[in-house]
Structure 1
Amino acid sequence: MNLDVNEAPSQTGLAWLPLLIGLCLMFGITAYPKVLIDGSGRADHLAVTLAGWAMAAGIVRGVGFVPRHRVLRWVLSATACVSCLLLAGLRLYLVRG
């Protein structure tokens, strides 16, 4: 696994989809935090972690920052944003189901 930190990022500039996802999560979770509770009324920590990751990745990638380090580039990518959002939704669906 080559982790060349000097490798230049491929794309920069605003990415609207992850930015909108990140901002919607930021405002949505702030306004209505009960969306991240499980069936028994407790916080679902895995769903909260995944939603927080999706929010952070969406905002970071959305404003145009692309890390040079390959692992961080993946962790803060648009793909990670959408994947974590879908996994958080699936987790909440299964827990409440």
Structure 2
Amino acid sequence: MAIIVTFDMEDTAAAQELYDTCIDRLTEGRGFASPADLPVPGLLAHIAGPVGGRWRVTDVWESPESFEAFGKILGPIIADLGYEGLRPDVSPAHRVVLR
């Protein structure tokens, strides 16, 4: 079952910097233009940007297990950057439609 994972942070400038740094570390500086650029399979969709003075990252993962595998890589990166308390909201997806 697909899941929706959302990270929401208050400080847009600091949050965007955190996001960019995480992407750089996750992809070893290669950039992120496709789900295949991440170190684990299973990402179906990814959106990141400012929303109402906050910074939001929303992913759709094909299963909780695929996100858990990703979290094992992302979690230590976030902790190393001083945001160990950052936790996503995780919800089951009712429907996922992709182009």
TM surpasses 0.5: no
Whose Rg is larger? 1
Bigger fraction of residues in strand: 2
Q: Normalising by the residue count of structure 2, what TM-score does the alignment of the two structures yield? A: 0.29
Bigger fraction of residues in helix: 1
